[in-house]
Amino acid sequence: MSEPDNPVHPRTLGSGSAAAASGEDGQDIAALAKGGRTNFFGFLLRLAARIPFLFIAGRLYGAEELGRFASALVVIELTALMCSMGEKRGLAQRLANSEARPANTVFDAILLATIFGTLAALFFWFVPAPMFPSGEYSLIDQMLVLAIPAYALTEIVLAAQAYRYDIATTVRARAIVEPWAISIGAGAFYFIAPEDGLSLAYILSIYAGLLTGLWPFLRTYGLPKAWTPQLRAMGKMTMRALPLATADAIEWGTRRIDIFILGLFAAPAAVGVYYVAQQVASLPQKLKTSFEPILGPVITKNLKTNNYGAIARQLCQVGFWILAAQAGIALALGIPGEAVMGLVGPNFVGGTAALAFLLMAEVVAATAVVSEAALVYMARVRNLWISIATIGFQAALTVGIMLAVEAYAWPEAYKAAGAGLALMIALGTASLVKAWLLGRLLGHRINNWRWALVYATAPAVAVGYAATFLPEWLELLIGIPAILATYGFVIWHRGFGPEDRVLFRKNIAGGEEAAEAS
């Protein structure tokens, strides 16, 4: 495979050009901050909705049923992501470079996703074994395949809205409608179809999210005009999208292949416990999505003008924001880990070690996340090979740990912890490699680390350790806010400079204030 169009060569901005670009760079930082701030509010809403779902799923359905459900979702969501043809990030570049009517460009992607999603759904309807490795499923469980085309279409319409800097639609769909629909649905369907409630609730949530995204999308773009599907052009589009689609699927798969492998080596109940730990740990991972929709348009705009210095500054800036927030949340959820897992049910406390490793994995992955945001446009094939190597390394490491646990007859809980450890090592390695590659391409170093993170972590750990001596309900009610408050106070005063605090300013639509902050 060859590299994509727009080959990139290292370039260092001169002082004059840097000064000329500073105002525009400040506007980009302001746009990133505004989009991230909007989606961070969505993260808080998603957190509020995720906890009821985990509580309902753990207490009503139990670890075994949750494990079967989790195994099916790995296949469903991975397939749907592939069917979206990488348009979650690739659509921004196609819209920026296309002279066609924007609605026509988006509907090309919608048609392809519909075709591939429908074919995939038909395949798994007749061959359901990959979704249910335990061999236990019902007719309604099979209907999960209906979510594949809807999930893929949702990715595309939300990416189209993000290109217009409309992040609020993503927040409504992903942070309000989908999580609350699955939480309410799981509770209601338990009394109607207790063995199939989770599957029905998931299908409901995916289609509710799609409708939430479609309405503003049609108002923004309208319907296509003078649009005729061109099979040859669509074939070229498919081939060009494959590296990006595969990279997206692999990046997503690194957070799911552990569940798949665990399902092969452990009982469904152990998979269910690990799934809950993963859902809790994925909360800080959602922070990257606070900036991901807006990073694409900003990066593609600067690539058109070869403004590599601005890209490096923006990625380092956003990378630190993500890293700082993820570290704080990881501390708040990890230190009282037993109480957090016990909230779902007493049978889930054994997943505390897995939760700790998964939370650390999200922290070390922050650099890879921001680096890949640019690599998918600048070196998509090399980025793809790094991603393939990462998931291969993770899979081999996970399998090795599973075999070791069985060989030494260690407790079943060690398998879940080992899967989290393998993910942490793999993502940390990927961060180092991708940051190094992007630094070479841009001619500027990519580094999100600041020593202020250590200064903020130390007192937060002390406060959290003291909170573990409280009763569990007080540990959650008082300990988590105390950890966040301590960490936040120190990181604000020791780690955040004027350019960082732009994230918390509301009136920064790209004016003078944004330029000054940059």
| Secondary structure (H, E, C), 73-94 | HHHHHHHHHHHCCCHHHHHHHH
CB 400 within 8 A of CB 420: no
Q: Classify 167 as helix, strand or coil.
A: coil
Burial of 212 (0-12, 13-18, 19+ CB in 10 A): buried
Cα distance between residue 377 and residue 46, in whole Å? 29
Cα distance between residue 157 and residue 172, in whole Å? 13
Cα distance between residue 133 and residue 489, in whole Å? 47
- Apex CA 70: angle with CA 65 and CA 71, to 5°? 100
Question: pTM above 0.85?
Answer: no
Closest CA to 94 of 138, 159, 149: 159
CB 33 within 8 A of CB 505: yes
Q: Which residues contact 24 (CB under 8 A, 6 or more apart)?
A: 307, 310
Q: What is the DSSP letter of 476?
A: I
Specify the pLDDT at position 451: 87
Place of tokens 């899967």: 419
Burial of 83 (0-12, 13-18, 19+ CB in 10 A): buried
Specify the pLDDT at position 505: 53
Q: Classify 291 as helix, strand or coil.
A: coil
Inter-helix orientation angle 231-253/62-83, to 10°: 150
Place of tokens 């490793």: 357
Phi and psi of 291, rounded to 5°? -115, -20
Cα distance between residue 373 and residue 387, in whole Å? 13
Cα distance between residue 31 and residue 24, in whole Å? 10
DSSP for 371-427, written as a single string:
HHHHHHHH-HHHHHHHHHHHHHHHHHHHHHHHHHHHHTT--THHHHHHHHHHHHHHH
Place of tokens 């979650």: 88
Closest CA to 398 of 281, 248, 255, 252: 255
Q: What is the DSSP letter of 174?
A: I
Cα distance between residue 128 and residue 75, in whole Å? 10
Residue 439 has a CB neighbour count (10 Å cut-off) of: 16
Phi and psi of 165, rounded to 5°? 65, 25
- Apex CA 96: angle with CA 92 and CA 102, to 5°? 85
Cα distance between residue 35 and residue 162, in whole Å? 9
Cα distance between residue 167 and residue 373, in whole Å? 17
Specify the pLDDT at position 440: 92
Place of tokens 């060859």: 2
| Domain-wise residue ranges, the chain | 15-450+495-517, 461-493
CB 399 within 8 A of CB 426: no
Question: For the chain, how far is it from start to end, CA to CA, in angstroms?
Answer: 39
One-letter identity of residue 122 = L
CB 394 within 8 A of CB 226: no
One-letter identity of residue 1 = M
CB 298 within 8 A of CB 31: yes
CB 319 within 8 A of CB 366: yes
Closest CA to 189 of 135, 140, 136: 140
pLDDT in tens, the chain (518 residues): 444 444 344 333 343 444 444 455 555 556 555 655 555 565 666 666 777 888 898 889 988 888 889 889 988 988 998 888 777 767 777 787 777 788 888 898 899 889 999 999 999 999 998 888 777 788 999 999 999 999 999 999 998 998 887 878 888 898 789 989 999 999 999 999 888 999 999 999 999 999 999 999 999 999 888 887 766 666 676 677 676 667 677 777 777 788 888 888 887 888 888 989 988 887 766 666 666 666 777 788 788 888 888 888 888 888 888 888 889 989 999 999 999 999 888 889 889 999 999 999 988 988 888 888 888 888 888 988 998 899 999 999 999 999 999 999 888 888 989 999 999 999 999 999 999 999 999 988 888 888 889 999 999 999 999 999 999 888 988 999 999 999 999 988 887 776 666 555 554 344 433 333 33
CB 465 within 8 A of CB 488: no
Cα distance between residue 146 and residue 457, in whole Å? 44
